[in-house]
């Protein structure tokens, strides 16, 4: 049964909070909620919901597929938990996690994260910095593939290249084709090539093709003579 004044044992609740009660509604010293094992939980008259003092900060790459991470920010009021809502402009995206992986729809937009801090008194939101992502664009070669022409290549050597760097958003997928005298060598589509006897005296090179959702581009290497 309820104990309206709270003196002694109240089976259901103690309106004021003296003694034992399953719920101590008011309690002595600003009781916030439910007592534990019949003991009133007293927080103190000055307790407040969390207050943000330093905003959350997003960091990470700005291309599709990059992972963004937000800090919680700095808070007073001793938060006991945090939750997260990522936003693309005013649109809610992502899940309740402090990381988010950029997708094509995020390209050339502003991303923020709303962090919610919670303690026993209540919850408060704080919005991160605005993180601007890169626009989508087709692959661009910034450093062509280069076979070292000063090496004395012979049959049985494995030939490879250096360089071959690309930009593009999303990040391009790269494929390869090796050539003998400017004709594609059947089945040779790895980033290395094992020289054969038929290559002696011939010109060998490789072509790299870069592809993403915005287009395709290719870049051939220099030609080298096999001895």
Answer yes or no: are the C-beta atoms of 38 and 21 closer than 8 Å: yes
Percent of the chain scoring above 90 in pLDDT = 76
Categorize the per-residue pLDDT at 3 as very low, low, confident or very high, splitting at 50, 70 and 90: low
User: Which neighbouring-strand residues pair with 206?
Assistant: 178
Question: Nearest Cα to 126, choosing from 78, 70, 80, 88?
Answer: 70
Determine the pLDDT at residue 32. Answer: 43
Count Cβ atoms below 10 Å from residue 202 Cβ, excluding itself.
Answer: 16
Considering only residues 223 and 28, tell me which one the structure prediction assigns the higher pLDDT. 223
What mean pLDDT, rounded, does the chain reach?
87
Determine the pLDDT at residue 45. Answer: 40
90 CB-near residues (< 8 Å, 6+ apart): none
pTM of the model: 0.74
Determine the pLDDT at residue 96. Answer: 86
Task: Report pLDDT digits (tens) over 159-185.
Answer: 999 999 999 999 999 999 999 999 999
What are 149's two structure tokens?
A: 């022409």
The whole-angstrom separation of Cα 213 and Cα 172 is 8
| CATH fold match for the domains 51-132 and 137-225 | yes
DSSP 8-state class, residue 77: S
Categorize the per-residue pLDDT at 7 as very low, low, confident or very high, splitting at 50, 70 and 90: very low
- The CATH code belonging to domain 51-132 is 2.60.40.10
Task: Report pLDDT digits (tens) over 113-128.
Answer: 999 999 999 999 999 9
- The CATH code belonging to domain 137-225 is 2.60.40.10
Work out the average pLDDT over 212-218.
98
Determine the pLDDT at residue 39. Answer: 45
The whole-angstrom separation of Cα 205 and Cα 199 is 11
Task: Report pLDDT digits (tens) over 26-85.
Answer: 444 444 444 444 444 444 444 899 999 999 999 999 999 999 999 999 999 999 999 999
Task: Report pLDDT digits (tens) over 17-27.
Answer: 445 544 444 44
Answer yes or no: are the C-beta atoms of 194 and 150 closer than 8 Å: no
Question: Nearest Cα to 140, choosing from 184, 107, 174?
Answer: 174
Answer yes or no: are the C-beta atoms of 15 and 26 closer than 8 Å: yes
Domain boundaries, the chain: 1-46, 51-132, 137-225
Work out the average pLDDT over 198-222.
98
The whole-angstrom separation of Cα 66 and Cα 22 is 50
Q: CA separation (Å) from 74 to 111, 114, 174?
A: 20, 13, 43
Model confidence at 144: pLDDT above 80: yes
Task: Report pLDDT digits (tens) over 152-166.
Answer: 999 999 999 999 999
């Amino acid at each position: 049964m309820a104990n309206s004044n709270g003196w002694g044992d109240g089976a259901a609740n103690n309106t004021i909070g003296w003694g034992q009660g399953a719920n101590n509604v008011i309690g002595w010293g600003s009781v916030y909620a439910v007592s534990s094992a019949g003991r009133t939980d007293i927080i103190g008259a000055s307790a407040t919901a969390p207050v943000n003092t330093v905003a959350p900060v997003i960091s990470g790459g700005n291309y599709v597929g990059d992972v963004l991470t937000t800090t919680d920010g700095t808070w007073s009021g001793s938060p006991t938990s945090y939750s997260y809502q990522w936003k693309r402009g005013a649109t809610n995206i992502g899940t309740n996690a402090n990381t988010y992986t950029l997708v094509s729809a995020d390209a050339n937009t502003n991303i923020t994260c709303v962090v919610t801090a919670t303690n026993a008194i209540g919850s408060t939101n704080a919005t991160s910095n605005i993180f601007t992502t890169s626009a989508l664009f087709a692959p661009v070669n910034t450093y062509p593939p280069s076979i070292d022409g000063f090496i004395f290549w012979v049959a049985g050597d494995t030939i490879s290249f250096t360089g071959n760097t690309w930009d593009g958003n999303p990040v391009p997928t790269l494929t390869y084709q090796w050539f003998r005298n400017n004709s594609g060598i059947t089945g040779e589509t790895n980033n290395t090539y094992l020289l054969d006897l038929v290559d002696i005296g011939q010109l060998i090179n490789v072509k790299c093709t870069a592809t993403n959702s915005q287009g395709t581009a290719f870049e051939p290497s220099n030609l080298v003579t096999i001895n």
